[in-house]
Amino acid sequence: MKNNKTLATAVAITLLGSTLCHAESRVDKIKRQFTTIDLDKSGAITLEEFTFGSKTPDAAGGQFAKIDTDQDGVIIFEEFLASKQNKAPRKQPPAAE
Ligand SMILES: [Ca+2]
């Protein structure tokens, strides 16, 4: 049957597609983090929400200021995404010299 071959091709394309979309799933993951921190789901993270969601509340103010690149007092998803993509995974920042 020709239909079976079409189905097999469709399955293969789907599998290939999910492999190719691996980079996008990283963005999805960041988006999920963003919406988790954005407690009131306003589409922007305030300093209060950021501090609440931070593992290191003492350092949250400084981190927030770094991510809030246009300094309008809230972190939008584009700023959050940029901060995640620019930052290489690193466990601890090096000690100040
Ligand atoms: Ca901002």
Sketch the domain layout of the chain as residue ranges: 23-86
CA of 22 to the centre of ligand 1 (A): 28
| pLDDT confidence band for 23 (50 / 70 / 90) | low
Specify whether the CB–CB gap between 45 and 38 falls below 8 A: yes
What mean pLDDT do residues 24-49 have?
94
What sign does the CA torsion over 25, 88, 38, 71 have? negative
Residues having C-beta closer than 5 Å to ion ligand 1: 68, 70, 72
Q: What is the model's pTM?
A: 0.64
Q: Strand pairing partners for 76?
A: 44
In the CATH scheme, what is the homologous superfamily, with its name and number, of domain 23-86?
EF-hand (1.10.238.10)
Distance 55 CA to ligand 1 centre (A): 21
pLDDT for residue 57 is more than 60: yes
What's the CA-to-centroid distance between 48 and ligand 1, angstroms? 14
The pLDDT value recorded for residue 11 is 80
